[in-house]
């Protein structure tokens, strides 16, 4: 018997049809393979041709600074992707076609041929789809402005990184809305601004737009508006023709909802941001920023800057690095002597980047030491002849000179070039010279001294002078060279200035060179003899100061100087006898005999009726001033007699001489040496003398045990006070009653800057100094009775910052001295403390909060330093590096 197997097959028509369609469809991929491969190649070629035509249109549009549309770029990218796949299929097609059999209806490898045929059919479909989609009437649009335009900067930017970081922190972290960057020409302000601009490129600050506008000297609001409008997309032919007010409204509407940064480069005067259309950033609105560069600190005030930064010249190391880069290592290393000479050349640039770059480039091909030595001489004597300085550097700096308010201030600036390089110029002495030259307007009611200080401030704010101390200024070497270049304009045949200041001369230059000169400076040399009779019909100023050995002068030396106005003989220590011929200089308006050893002023000096400034300060040997000589100088504005007559026991300024001063109706500045309390009372009882006294030298007050310093509070302009050899003086009396009552104004000596006490052996303390808030220097010498500087003060004073502005404290030979102050003080500005022979001083008023920057110098003997007691070990460790043996 066998088994029977039965199979049942369903004859459902729907299922059968689906199976048949599936089979026939898959078979079609094999049957149509060759035809589809050929069609794919043909259609792909057409698609690529269409793509190339489109790309030509895109490239043409982009060359016109347009931006291709995103959907055009997507289509082009899809074509590239399809082409890559199709090329591969077309390349493999012949190999797959060879597998076909039975007239192309079957394959030796059905699965492989099916999969390949399916891919070809799909890619052919993709190509046809792209062909249909690739119709574009517009392929590009106007390119939108980038939020920030990158600005070119020198690849060798040196020394600006720390300044960049300070400004950047201010922009992104602080509420300041308007920020000013100021500094002298050529110092790198524009470079710093460009670095700030470029820093916005890669920083996540979320500013919508950064706008750069170059303003320059010719300020035109419409030019600023056009630059802003172009950046924010407002500019077209119609907009350009709109009025300034209409443009301002358009700019305001565009920017008021944006977070923007406006960078204004090189402004010389106030830019009214409201008239431009700029929404004003405020301190409390950190949304937007305005940053500007200027050569004038005054402009920062006019622009109402919330924060200002001075762009300084480079440090010594950075200056050398920049110079080294510009010269190049090949030149610097080609001879062993050049490196040292190159450092000297770099130093002549004073850290000014523009000068370093210009001179560095000029020296890059100089490979002989002699060439470098010659360059140093040229830079020191006739720098305008150095390649690039006279036609690149000085003209740029001259813009600042030309922008000064008037010719008087320009003349005052040029006058500063009479002083040596790096010289610290006393404001007082400089203004005295300006008065003597007649630069200042004597018709003004407020006095020429105030005008002089105003001009100094103008030059400092214009970054043409640098304020090194409250009472001193300095002229940058390159600015000085530019000033001499202007004052000695060879092309215009001007020979106004002949300057040998600080040139280490042992004899005066040939007097034949002086004939056409108006201002001659021989100061700070070692000249010991002035001989001959120079003919100087135009000479107005002659500086002979600080030639310490100057001894012999030909009797006729000053004979042919009929127009001489300013004569400075200060510091001529060998000058014991006054040259009588000076009394013939009837045009003289300023005579400086300070720090000389002249003993007698001759009565013939009364011929100098035009004298406006007479400086006799520290002429210690001067004991004779003839009666009525001073009163004969009826035009005097300045009379300085501080520290004269040291060898005279009776003094040379008595009540009678003081009465002479009352007749000098133009007198503005007075410094005096007084030898008794009666003379002091005479000064204090005269409103006229009180109002102009700026310095007092009190010497040898015989039998005076007490001096009421409260009375000195009436000397509102007293800057210097020196008390010397008052051997009986026990007390500097201070009336505290008024101070305690007037709690809002506890200080009484507001103007006092310098105090010196010498040889006052019975004094116990100097507590009255607690009421001088602006003191910068205290010096106490050989006062063996003094035990402390400030003992105790009223309660109202104890929370005030005592000696907040003190820079120097000198204590010498104080055998009983024990205390400066009873508790530690901050000393925020102290630079130096000197303690010599004060062995009982065991503790300094210092703690961890004192002089926090720790830049002070403490000088003394090692034995004294070793026995000092400190608040704690941390304080001792902090000040240990400050000590100098």
14-142 maps to which CATH number? Answer: 1.20.140
What is residue 564's predicted lDDT score, i.e. its pLDDT?
Answer: 97
Query: Any idea what DSSP says for residue 257?
Result: T
Region 30-41 average pLDDT: 75
Per-residue pLDDT for 14 more than 60?
no
Per-residue pLDDT for 414 more than 70?
yes
Q: What one-character-per-residue DSSP string does 645-666 give?
A: -TT-SS-S--HHHHHHHTT-TT
What is the SS3 assignment for 74-138? HHHHHHHHHHHHHHHHHHHHHHHHCCEECCCCEECCHHHHHHHHHHHHHHHHHHHHHHHHCCCCC
What is residue 156's predicted lDDT score, i.e. its pLDDT?
Answer: 62
What is residue 240's predicted lDDT score, i.e. its pLDDT?
Answer: 82
What is residue 490's predicted lDDT score, i.e. its pLDDT?
Answer: 47
Per-residue pLDDT for 438 more than 90?
yes
Q: What is the pLDDT of residues 703-745, one digit of tens each?
A: 788 898 888 988 999 999 999 999 999 999 887 665 545 544 5
- Would you tell me the crossing angle of helices 448-461 and 427-437 to the nearest 10 degrees? 120
Q: At 473, is the secondary structure helix, strand, or coil?
A: strand
Percent of the chain residues past pLDDT 90, beyond the cut: 55
Cα distance between residue 681 and residue 690, in whole Å: 11
What is residue 436's predicted lDDT score, i.e. its pLDDT?
Answer: 95
Q: Is 150 exposed, middle or buried (0-12, 13-18, 19+ CB in 10 A)?
A: exposed
What is residue 701's predicted lDDT score, i.e. its pLDDT?
Answer: 86
The sign of the CA dihedral 711, 713, 716, 717 is positive
Query: What's the token pair of residue 65?
Result: 């600074």
Alpha-helical (H) ranges within 418-539 are 427-437, 448-461, 477-487
Determine what percent of the chain falls in helix, strand and coil, rounding each to the nearest 5. 40, 15, 45
User: Could you state, in order of their start, the residue ranges of all structural domains in the chain?
Assistant: 14-142, 161-310, 316-381, 391-488
What is residue 21's predicted lDDT score, i.e. its pLDDT?
Answer: 41
Q: At 219, is the secondary structure helix, strand, or coil?
A: coil
Flag the least confident range among 526-530, 542-546, 717-721, 739-743. 739-743
Alpha-helical (H) ranges within 134-240 are 161-173, 189-199, 221-232, 237-240
Per-residue pLDDT for 26 more than 80?
no
What is residue 144's predicted lDDT score, i.e. its pLDDT?
Answer: 67
Cα distance between residue 576 and residue 595, in whole Å: 11
161-310 maps to which CATH number? Answer: 3.40.50.300
Q: Which residues pair with 810 in a beta bridge?
A: 779, 834
Please enumerate in sequence order all residues whose Cβ is within 8 A of that of 638, keeping only pairs 6 or more positions apart, or say none.
432, 435, 449, 612, 613, 614, 615, 667, 668, 669
Query: What's the token pair of residue 82?
Result: 């399809």
Region 691-699 average pLDDT: 94
Flag the least confident range among 147-161, 299-313, 459-473. 147-161
Residue that is written with structure tokens 């729907």 in the block? 14
| Cβ atoms 567, 585 nearer than 8 A | yes
| Cβ atoms 558, 584 nearer than 8 A | yes
Give me the CATH topology for the region 391-488. Arc Repressor Mutant, subunit A (1.10.10)
Per-residue pLDDT for 861 more than 90?
yes
Please enumerate in sequence order all residues whose Cβ is within 8 A of that of 229, keeping only pairs 6 or more positions apart, or say none.
235, 239, 247, 250, 251
Region 859-864 average pLDDT: 94
Residue 378 host element (H or E): helix 369-381
Query: Any idea what DSSP says for residue 236?
Result: S
Flag the least confident range among 142-151, 261-270, 832-841. 142-151
Cα 275 to chain centroid, rounded: 29
CA dihedral 475, 478, 481, 483 (to 10 degrees): -60
pLDDT band at 697 (very low <50, low <70, confident <90, very high): very high
Give me the CATH topology for the region 316-381. Helicase, Ruva Protein; domain 3 (1.10.8)
What is residue 495's predicted lDDT score, i.e. its pLDDT?
Answer: 64
Flag the least confident range among 36-40, 153-157, 302-306. 153-157
What is residue 118's predicted lDDT score, i.e. its pLDDT?
Answer: 78
CB atoms within 10 A of CB 719: 19
pLDDT band at 166 (very low <50, low <70, confident <90, very high): very high
Q: What is the pLDDT of residues 334-393, one digit of tens each?
A: 999 999 999 999 999 999 999 999 999 999 999 999 999 999 999 988 888 888 888 889
Per-residue pLDDT for 111 more than 80?
no
Q: Mean pLDDT in the chain? A: 87
> Within 13 Å, how many C-alpha atoms sit on residue 451's CB side?
19
Region 484-494 average pLDDT: 70
Query: What's the token pair of residue 645?
Result: 């007559």
Cα distance between residue 417 and residue 480, in whole Å: 5
Cα distance between residue 844 and residue 712, in whole Å: 29
Per-residue pLDDT for 8 more than 50?
no
Region 475-489 average pLDDT: 90
Cα distance between residue 30 and residue 116, in whole Å: 8
Cβ contacts of 337-344, under 8 Å, gap ≥ 24 = 337/369, 337/372, 338/367, 338/369, 338/372, 341/369, 341/372, 341/373, 341/376, 342/372, 344/376
Per-residue pLDDT for 37 more than 80?
no
Region 739-762 average pLDDT: 77
End-to-end CA distance of the chain: 132
Q: At 263, is the secondary structure helix, strand, or coil?
A: strand
What is the SS3 assignment for 528-594? CEECCCCCCCCCCEEECCCCCCCCEECCCCCCCCCCCCEEECCCCCCCCCCCHHHHHCCCCCEEECC
What is residue 612's predicted lDDT score, i.e. its pLDDT?
Answer: 95
Percent of the chain residues past pLDDT 70, beyond the cut: 89
Cβ contacts of 83-92, under 8 Å, gap ≥ 24 = 83/44, 83/47, 83/48, 85/123, 86/40, 86/44, 86/123, 86/127, 87/44, 89/37, 89/40, 89/116, 89/119, 89/120, 89/123, 90/37, 90/40, 90/41, 90/44, 92/116
The sign of the CA dihedral 773, 778, 782, 784 is positive
């Amino acid at each position: 018997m066998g088994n029977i197997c039965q199979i049942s097959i369903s004859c459902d028509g729907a299922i059968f049809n689906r199976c048949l369609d599936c089979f026939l469809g898959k078979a079609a991929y094999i049957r149509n393979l060759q035809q589809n491969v050929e069609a794919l190649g043909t259609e792909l070629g057409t698609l690529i041709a269409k793509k190339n035509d489109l790309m030509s249109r895109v490239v043409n549009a982009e060359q016109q600074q347009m931006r291709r549309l995103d959907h055009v770029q997507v289509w082009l990218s899809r074509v590239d992707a399809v082409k890559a796949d199709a090329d591969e299929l077309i390349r493999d097609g012949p190999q797959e076609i060879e597998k076909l059999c039975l007239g192309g209806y079957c394959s030796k490898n059905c699965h492989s041929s099916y999969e390949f045929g399916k891919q070809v059919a799909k890619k052919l479909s993709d190509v046809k789809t792209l062909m249909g989609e690739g119709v574009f009437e517009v392929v590009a649009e106007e390119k939108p402005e980038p939020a920030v335009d990158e600005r070119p900067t020198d690849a060798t930017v040196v020394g600006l990184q720390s300044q960049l970081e300070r400004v950047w922190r201010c922009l992104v972290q602080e509420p300041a809305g308007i920020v000013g960057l100021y500094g002298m020409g050529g110092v790198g302000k524009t470079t710093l601004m460009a670095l700030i601009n470029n820093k916005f490129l890669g920083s996540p600050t979320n500013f919508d737009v950064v706008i750069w506008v170059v303003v320059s000297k010719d300020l035109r609001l419409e030019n600023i508006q056009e630059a802003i409008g172009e950046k924010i997309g407002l500019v077209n032919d119609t907009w350009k023709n709109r009025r300034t007010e209409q443009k301002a409204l358009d700019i305001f509407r565009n920017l008021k909802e944006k977070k923007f940064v406006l960078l204004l480069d090189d402004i010389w005067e106030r830019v009214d941001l409201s008239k431009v259309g700029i929404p004003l950033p405020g301190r409390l609105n950190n949304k937007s920023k305005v940053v500007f560069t200027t050569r004038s600190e005054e402009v920062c005030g006019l622009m109402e800057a919330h924060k200002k930064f001075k762009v300084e010249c480079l440090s010594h190391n950075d200056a050398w690095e920049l110079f080294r880069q510009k010269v190049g290592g090949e030149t610097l290393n080609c001879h062993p002597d050049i490196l040292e000479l190159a450092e000297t050349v770099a130093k002549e640039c004073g850290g000014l980047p523009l000068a370093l770059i210009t001179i560095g480039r000029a020296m890059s091909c100089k490979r002989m030491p002699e060439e470098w030595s010659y360059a140093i001489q040229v830079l020191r004597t006739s720098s305008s002849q150095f390649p690039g300085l006279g036609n690149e550097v000085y003209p740029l700096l001259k813009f600042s000179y030309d922008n000064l308010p008037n010719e008087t201030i320009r003349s005052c600036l040029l006058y500063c070039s009479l002083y040596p390089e790096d010289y610290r110029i006393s404001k007082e002495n400089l203004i005295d010279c300006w008065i003597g030259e007649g630069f200042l307007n004597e018709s003004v009611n407020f006095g020429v001294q105030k005008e002089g200080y105003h001009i100094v401030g103008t030059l400092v704010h214009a970054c043409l002078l640098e304020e090194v101390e409250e009472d001193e200024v300095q002229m940058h070497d390159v600015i000085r060279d530019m000033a001499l270049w202007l004052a000695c304009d060879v092309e215009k045949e001007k020979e106004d200035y002949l300057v040998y200041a600080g040139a280490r001369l042992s004899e005066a230059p040939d007097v034949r060179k002086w004939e056409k000169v108006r201002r001659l400076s021989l100061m700070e040399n070692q000249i010991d003899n002035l001989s001959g009779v120079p003919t100087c019909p135009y000479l107005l100023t002659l500086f002979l100061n600080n030639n310490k050995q100057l001894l012999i002068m030909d009797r006729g030396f000053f004979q042919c100087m009929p127009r001489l106005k300013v004569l400075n003989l200060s510091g001529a220590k060998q000058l014991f006898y006054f040259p009588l011929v000076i009394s013939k200089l009837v045009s003289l308006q300023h005579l400086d005999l300070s720090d000389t050893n002249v003993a007698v002023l001759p009565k013939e000096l009364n011929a100098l009726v035009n004298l406006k400034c007479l400086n006799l300060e520290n002429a210690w040997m001067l004991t004779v001033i003839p009666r009525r000589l001073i009163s004969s100088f009826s035009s005097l504005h300045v009379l300085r007699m501080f520290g004269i007559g040291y060898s005279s026991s009776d003094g040379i300024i008595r009540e009678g001489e003081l009465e002479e001063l009352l007749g000098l109706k133009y007198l503005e500045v007075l410094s005096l040496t007084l030898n008794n309390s009666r003379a002091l009372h005479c000064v204090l009882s005269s409103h006229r003398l009180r109002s102009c006294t700026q310095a007092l030298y009190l010497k040898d007050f015989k039998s005076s045990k007490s001096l009421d310093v409260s009375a000195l509070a009436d000397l509102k302009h007293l800057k210097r006070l020196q008390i010397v050899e008052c051997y009986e003086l026990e007390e500097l009396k201070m009336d505290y009653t008024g101070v305690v009552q007037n709690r809002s104004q506890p200080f009484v000596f507001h103007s006092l800057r310098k105090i010196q006490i010498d040889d006052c052996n019975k004094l116990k303390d100097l507590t009255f100094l607690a009421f001088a808030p602006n003191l910068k220097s205290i010096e106490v010498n050989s006062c063996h009775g003094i035990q402390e500087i400030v003992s105790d003060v009223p309660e109202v004073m104890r929370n005030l910052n005592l000696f907040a502005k003190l820079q120097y404290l000198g204590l010498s030979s104080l055998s009983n001295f024990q205390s400066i102050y009873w508790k530690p003080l901050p000393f925020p500005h102290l630079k130096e403390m000197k303690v010599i022979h004060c062995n009982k001083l065991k503790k300094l008023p210092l703690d961890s909060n004192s002089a926090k920057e720790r830049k002070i110098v403490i000088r003394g003997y090692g034995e004294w330093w070793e026995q000092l007691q400190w608040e704690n070990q941390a304080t001792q460790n902090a000040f240990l590096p400050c000590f100098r043996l």
